[in-house]
Amino acid sequence: MWTLADIPDQTGRTALITGATSGLGLVVATELRARGATVIVAGRHPSPVARRIGGVPLPLDLADLASVRAAAAAVDRPIDLLVNNAGLMIPPYGLTVDGFEQQFGVNHLGHFALTGLLLDRLDGARVVTVSSNAHHGGSLDFGNLDWARDYHPMRAYRRSKLANLLFAFELGRRCPGLTSVAAHPGAARTALTRHSPWLFRFVTSPRTRKAFDWWLIQSAESGALPILRAATDPAVAPKSYFGPDGWHEFTGRPVLVEAAPAAHDEALAARLWEISQRMTGVCWPARAGMLTDGP
């Protein structure tokens, strides 16, 4: 069974991790740095964490495409590992700076744009996109991507997490020069759950740990294991998807898991890709290394 002890030495590798200032991203950044990687800590306020773990700060707000462009432009070195980890989960309705529904805008469009803008520095790299088991209930309504009508926080979250997987698998098809994989953490105790209904907050309360830990919810350290395996296991194949092996994939050790059939729909992925290009203004080339940036 794969554990932290199986992470190989990371000396000489450069890893960029979004949302690395807290939760799962912070665990991933800390573990990679401890094994010798140069870690670029990407987030809205990255400097304190970067100083603490010995990383490189990179200001990044995925809800603002101007910030995404500035962050990408500031990366002045090849990237061996990109972990698209940052995200929002079931907040009240809101829009990004650019007018996108915020879960779709941050979880999918921000990472779509960042990865595209970094493409010329990702030759031979591994890209890990963090999804959720909630994607199994997700669907795409291209006529209502901004949720201008009938907004439902969980349905919007599921949509964004399905988009993450469609992107990860399509990236592997379009850019065979890199290794695109995905992971989900199961149910992890992080600040991501702050907008959850009262029942989930009860389950995640420190007062109920003895009743629910290890089968219904786990620590951020355990939730990060599928991401770390996807990021570092030398045997990982392109388009792999990792998650916990426990009941309903809520908790457990990191193993290969199955994505919903919709996540493997190539026609759906291609349509999402083209629409994402139009929404972000980041146009991907037919071949890696020839990125154009425009509407």
pLDDT at site 122: 97
Query: Could you tell me which CATH class the domain 10-186+224-247+255-279 is placed in?
Result: alpha beta
pLDDT at site 27: 97
In terms of pTM, does the model score above 0.85?
yes
pLDDT tens digits along 13-29:
999 999 999 999 999 99
Indicate if 157 belongs to the active site.
yes
Catalytic residue among 93, 151, 157, 241: 157
Would you write out the chain's pLDDT as a tens digit for each of its 295 residues?
Answer: 899 999 999 999 999 999 999 999 999 999 999 999 999 999 999 999 999 999 999 999 999 999 999 999 999 999 999 999 999 999 999 999 999 999 999 999 999 999 999 999 999 999 999 999 999 989 999 999 999 999 999 999 999 999 999 999 999 999 999 999 999 998 777 665 555 555 555 556 666 665 556 556 788 899 999 999 999 999 999 999 999 998 888 899 999 999 999 999 999 999 999 999 999 999 997 544 434 444 3
Q: What is the DSSP string of the chain?
A: ---GGGPPP-TT-EEEEETTTSHHHHHHHHHHHHTT-EEEEEESS-HHHHHHHT-EEEE--TT-HHHHHHHHHH--S--SEEEE-----SPSS-B-TTS-BHHIIIIIIIHHHHHHHTGGG-TT-EEEEE--GGGGG----TT-TT--SS--HHHHHHHHHHHHHHHHHHHHHH-TTSEEEEE---SB-SGGGGGS-HHHHHHHSGGGHHHHBTTTBB-HHHHTHHHHHHHH-TTPPTT-EEEE-SGGGSSSSEEE-PPPGGGG-HHHHHHHHHHHHHHH-EEPPSSTT--EE--
pLDDT above 70 covers a percentage of the chain that reads: 87
pLDDT tens digits along 179-207:
999 999 987 776 655 555 555 555 566 66
The CA dihedral of 229, 117, 264, 6, to the nearest 10 degrees, is -10
